[in-house]
Structure 1
Amino acid sequence: MALVGFPLWWIAGLSGVIAILAAVPMAVQLARRRRVFVPPGFGWWVLFLVCVVVGVLTLWADAPGAVPGGGASRLMVWGYRVAWYLACTIALLWAANSDPRSVSERRVFQLFGWMFVVTAAGGLLGVLAPTLELRSLVELFLPGGLRSNSLVRGIVHPGVADIQTVLGRPEARPKAPFAFANSWGANISLYLPFFLVAWLKQGKRWQRLAAPLVLAVAAMPIVYSLNRGLWASLGLGAAFVVARQVVRGNVVAIVGTALVGGIAVAAFLLSPLSDLVGERLENQHSNDRRGQLLSQTVSSTFEGSPVIGFGSTRDVQGSFASIAGASTPECPACGVPPLGTQGHIWLVIFSQGFLGTFLFLALFVTSLWRTWRCRTTIETVCTCLLLFFALQMWVYDTLGMPLFTIMLTIGLVWRSQHPDETPYRGPRRRTLQRMVRDVWAARRVYAAAVAIGILVAAVAVVRQPQQSVARTSVLLAPSPVYLTTAIVKASALPRDITIDTEAALVFSAAARDAAASGPAGADDALTDRIRVTAAPRTRVLNIDVRSTDPRRAEAESRSLTERYLELRRDYLEKRRDQMLEGLRDRLAQMDLSSGGADDAEDLSADVRAREREAIDSAINNLILTSTTAGEVVRANSAVEVRKPMGVLVASGIILGIAAAAVLSVLAPRVVQAVSRPGLRRRRLP
């Protein structure tokens, strides 16, 4: 029902949570079973879920390069992602334990094939009526504060397309019936293998006749989506199909595929869509910003919380163009997406750390290892989906229906690989109940490991010196606007001083040497203790200095600010003097040329007089131009920096749990001896 009525759920504003709601009856069905069997690699996934849950302790930790602090909305976003991970887990177990007689593979293929049709229709609607928006039923009952939240609005507010300037002009990128354009691209590619099997291979006659028409209709929004990840996924899928046919040696299928592919490519090249694709491939402007964001995501995680991550995403301090940069209603792209976005793998790295990333990937690697031979249809489809996922997780946030679809497919594959060991015919070796019993039996080991981890974290917190930070805020005076006329060559004009140039001036050796304190004089480590930020879209520069001594932090912050303002004033005066010298040299050249030039080649008297008048006026303006550097608007007292207690405690907990789990697998007898110290082994006679 969740998939059949998906268009209605979208109109109602529930498409973003319908799978979570559908997981509730699935969980009820699983709870009624005496045994719930788990597929290989499920233990890795359970540990990953533990990382996600423990990550709540790190939600308010400050990440390097991110905006400090955070409100209650961060907890809401974390809870939403936890709900999706749990829903995907339930879908995996439900599919693996479902009765093949009531939940057949054919039925699942038809449902996901239907979702391809729905997604293609929504994409076509986004192309034909890109400005269409609806007010959902859920949106009517939400409080105004929630409706204004960008994440909530994207989920509950039905829209058919996102208007973006990817090609330098407004372009509609289809997204219906999902919340975002990239989600549309991920879902339609994952539903395509199901559609091909359900309609072309297993479908009724009318489905086989209608399938080419549906594919032709879907081609239009696929191209207009400007979605390079989707295009790459389809190319990978085509290569996978050809490779499978070559391995099997099916000459007829190879020739048929090549013929159909050639006709499709020729039709595409002759259509106007080919020009749109070529234009999109020429506009790769987002690559640099995406690369900078991903690099900062990894470096921030490695520096701040490599084991457990930061629990959720963080807003970037400033932008990559300027430390005072931020998005505006006129320029939404002027800002930077949060750290941990632009790809599911980056979300996992930033939110769950490198240990969580390893645990996250383990289940999918294990599943791919069991399906890559493609012995059955469901194995072939699952392999194709896992290949798509391996590509898309680098560029798409696939937490949602894409991951839900993949987990369902993995469960069905595992069920099909054990036809003689279904829950209705015989036992299997591993069940969820047994996993719970094993963990409960080894609870002393887990408790001891977690206690040791917390103890080590507490020691690290105590041993870490208490840092204090002093902030001085400076309102910069606007840089003088010099005359940009033909009087002086453009190359001789002084460049405008940006706020990023000012930040670099703060870090200069001249400023640091004057600000450094202590018996050793200049402090080489002062650079690492300085942090310069700016209020978004302002000329207010914030200079922070950290130190273990609060008084020293305050003194260095004041000294650094004073010296910086002196340097800025000297720089402005120097640039003014250079400009004056250039204008006076121009006057001297005019006097020389007027004395030696012929009347025919010389400028007319009135033109020369106007130029001389303009130069004199420019010189007077420069002499009267103020070179004020700025003023200190606030000098805060030093405040203590919060120690990363949440990060250290969460890291200690997850490392303790992981160590106990590994010990339970590698040395079960040791775990048994520790867990049951009162039991003695029977001695042999």
Structure 2
Amino acid sequence: MLLTLFEPRRGGRYDEVEDPAISSTARELPAWPLYTLLYGFPFIWALGMAQFMPTILALIMLAYMVARREIVIFRAQWIWIALCIWTVVCTVSLHGGSDILAWGLRFVIIFNAGIYSIYLFNARERVTSHGIMIGLIVVWYTVVILGWLSLQFPDFRLTTPMSMIMPGGLVSNELVKDYVMPPLAEVQLPWGAPEPYVRPSAPFPYANSWGLAFTFLTPIVLATMSASSSLWIKICLGFSVIAGLVPAVATSNRGMFIGLAICVGYVIMRQVMAGNLKVAVWALIGALLAVVTLVGSGALAKILGRQEYSDSTGGRASLYAATWDAVMQSPVVGYGTARMNVSIGVSMGTQGYLWALMFCFGLVGLGLFLAFMVYSILTTWGVQSDAGMWIHSVPVTAIFVFVFYSFDTMQMAAMMLCLSLMMRSAAYREGL
């Protein structure tokens, strides 16, 4: 397979790049694997295949790219490939079958996202930017609709076809059960709380995963609104975003609102830098109205009130300190996977992707991830359109929220697809 390096000229401006060359005889990559991942996501979840189908589709995409023989790699994507290789090197720290399985779950998240990114970059004949954005909106609607259903049926757990064919011994494992018999919500009753907290989680096992998906996907909805010429589409998407705030508030997820604030703040800054003061003012007014609504409705008080009964901030601080101490004992290759800290009662290498990378794959793994993110953001900085700014805000936000959010398959895929859209637009002048 011939791999071609694409590198934008200094400054990353869209009008200063040269199209990467692919011969006219190269096979076109089909759209269906990527579109299945996005448009078929609600069905994949309902089948109990959310932890299996993304990897199957990634392997299919890899096979198509090998068959094509000519693949263009955006320079930043080489850093991601190096990260994949380094995670394999870190297997030297594993002990036993359970460690290998846990490492594999983390590895496929990184591997799959890299394959999706490279595939999208090379599949421009069949996979359009609009098609990817609509596909991500399908995932967003799945998150929001299931969020609403979780508020009505918080104790419901879906029995999927995968759970019926999987051995009972595996289904008895709580984590496996949450994947193949997914609950709609996390129902938590911290000691002293007057009533349970119903926190939407479906189509993911955890409420924090729901919040991160909402953070990464909502800017895609706003990007589509800004790019659409149809007033009806703008109105429908606008009302959908407002409706989505109901389950979002119910998650009591502070990090989600911090992430959304970073998205909006970044877009406002870019609009001001571009001289589009009118757009910046409207974005600021919308953000202020959202804040007033959160405060006036009592939603903000509810979110902060959960802290009275669950000291998640203090608990994380202790975990982070213990994780850092452990990393200093194996700073290069880490431990390959998370390890339980008996004194705290929580596994080190969890509660934030920064800490997962650092603990599992050492400071080298963390450094490669940061190098990829920073280099990707800088080389796609030349975005000009309003829609492009919203899409670009996703990886910018990821740099901040990965400190306290763990990235699962779809969250990582959404971020990487956004970056790949930016890379492709820089290379082929697609208008983002």
Q: TM-score range by the shorter chain?
A: 0.7 to 0.9
- Asked if 1:308 is matched to 2:317, the reply is no
What residue identity is the alignment partner of 2:141?
Answer: V
Deviation at 1:263, TM superposition (A): 3.5
Which position in structure 2 is the counterpart of 1:16? 51
Deviation at 1:219, TM superposition (A): 0.7
Change (3 A) 1:78 1:130: same
- Distance of 1:218 and 1:277 partners within structure 2: 16
- Asked if 1:252 is matched to 2:290, the reply is no
Change (3 A) 1:379 1:55: same
2:409 to 387, 400, 408: 400
Which position in structure 2 is the counterpart of 1:72? 97
CA contact (8 A) 1:41 1:363 kept: yes
- Give the alignment of 1:397-546 within 5 angstroms: 397-419=406-428
Which position in structure 1 is the counterpart of 2:399? 390
Change (3 A) 1:238 1:314: same
- Kindly, what percent of the aligned residue pairs are identical? 27
Deviation at 1:186, TM superposition (A): 0.8
Which position in structure 2 is the counterpart of 1:57? 92
CA contact (8 A) 1:131 1:161 kept: yes
Which position in structure 2 is the counterpart of 1:234? 260
Deviation at 1:152, TM superposition (A): 1.6
Which position in structure 2 is the counterpart of 1:599? none
CA contact (8 A) 1:16 1:178 kept: no
Of stretches 147-156 and 265-274 in structure 1, the one that deviates more from structure 2 is: 265-274
Which position in structure 2 is the counterpart of 1:537? none
Give the paired residue count.
393
Which position in structure 2 is the counterpart of 1:137? 161
Deviation at 1:264, TM superposition (A): 3.4
CA contact (8 A) 1:3 1:115 kept: yes
- Distance of 1:252 and 1:46 partners within structure 2: 41
- Give the alignment of 1:578-589 within 5 angstroms: none
2:200 to 152, 174, 193: 174
CA contact (8 A) 1:113 1:196 kept: no
Which position in structure 2 is the counterpart of 1:30? 65
- Asked if 1:213 is matched to 2:239, the reply is yes
CA contact (8 A) 2:267 2:389 kept: no
Which position in structure 2 is the counterpart of 1:285? 311
Which position in structure 2 is the counterpart of 1:2? 37
- DSSP-derived class of the 2:127 partner: coil
- Asked if 1:266 is matched to 2:292, the reply is yes
CA contact (8 A) 2:350 2:356 kept: yes
Which position in structure 1 is the counterpart of 2:3? none
Deviation at 1:283, TM superposition (A): 5.7
What residue identity is the alignment partner of 1:14?
Answer: M
Q: CA RMSD in A?
A: 2.2
CA contact (8 A) 1:114 1:195 kept: no
Which position in structure 2 is the counterpart of 1:297? 323
Deviation at 1:410, TM superposition (A): 2.0
Deviation at 1:293, TM superposition (A): 0.8
**TM-score scaled to structure 1, two decimals?**
0.55
1:105 to 81, 106, 129: 129
- DSSP-derived class of the 2:92 partner: helix
**TM-score scaled to structure 2, two decimals?**
0.85
Change (3 A) 1:226 1:407: same
- Distance of 1:184 and 1:312 partners within structure 2: 23
- DSSP-derived class of the 1:177 partner: coil
- 1:581-622 CA-partner distances (Å, limit 9, x unpaired): xxxxxxxxxxxxxxxxxxxxxxxxxxxxxxxxxxxxxxxxxx
Q: Which runs of 5+ in 1 are unaligned?
A: 61-70, 321-335, 422-685
What residue identity is the alignment partner of 2:224?
Answer: A
- Distance of 1:361 and 1:392 partners within structure 2: 13
Q: Normalized per residue, which structure has more helix?
A: 2
- Distance of 1:147 and 1:3 partners within structure 2: 26
Deviation at 1:96, TM superposition (A): 1.3
- Give the alignment of 1:626-665 within 5 angstroms: none
- Distance of 1:357 and 1:10 partners within structure 2: 30
- DSSP-derived class of the 1:36 partner: strand
CA contact (8 A) 2:383 2:422 kept: no
Deviation at 1:374, TM superposition (A): 2.8
- 1:452-474 CA-partner distances (Å, limit 9, x unpaired): xxxxxxxxxxxxxxxxxxxxxxx
- 1:56-81 CA-partner distances (Å, limit 9, x unpaired): 22112xxxxxxxxxx52222121222
CA contact (8 A) 2:222 2:387 kept: no
Deviation at 1:404, TM superposition (A): 1.2
- 1:533-587 CA-partner distances (Å, limit 9, x unpaired): xxxxxxxxxxxxxxxxxxxxxxxxxxxxxxxxxxxxxxxxxxxxxxxxxxxxxxx
Q: Which runs of 5+ in 2 are unaligned?
A: 1-35
CA contact (8 A) 2:223 2:387 kept: no
Of stretches 117-126 and 365-374 in structure 1, the one that deviates more from structure 2 is: 365-374
- DSSP-derived class of the 1:3 partner: helix
Of stretches 160-169 and 141-150 in structure 1, the one that deviates more from structure 2 is: 160-169
Deviation at 1:233, TM superposition (A): 0.4
- Distance of 2:275 and 2:229 partners within structure 1: 25
- Distance of 2:55 and 2:117 partners within structure 1: 13
CA contact (8 A) 1:316 1:337 kept: yes
- 1:384-409 CA-partner distances (Å, limit 9, x unpaired): 11122112211111031111122222
1:83 to 99, 105, 108: 108
- Asked if 1:338 is matched to 2:347, the reply is yes
- 1:291-314 CA-partner distances (Å, limit 9, x unpaired): 1111111111212x2110111111
- Asked if 1:47 is matched to 2:82, the reply is yes
1:365 to 359, 374, 380: 374
CA contact (8 A) 1:371 1:382 kept: no
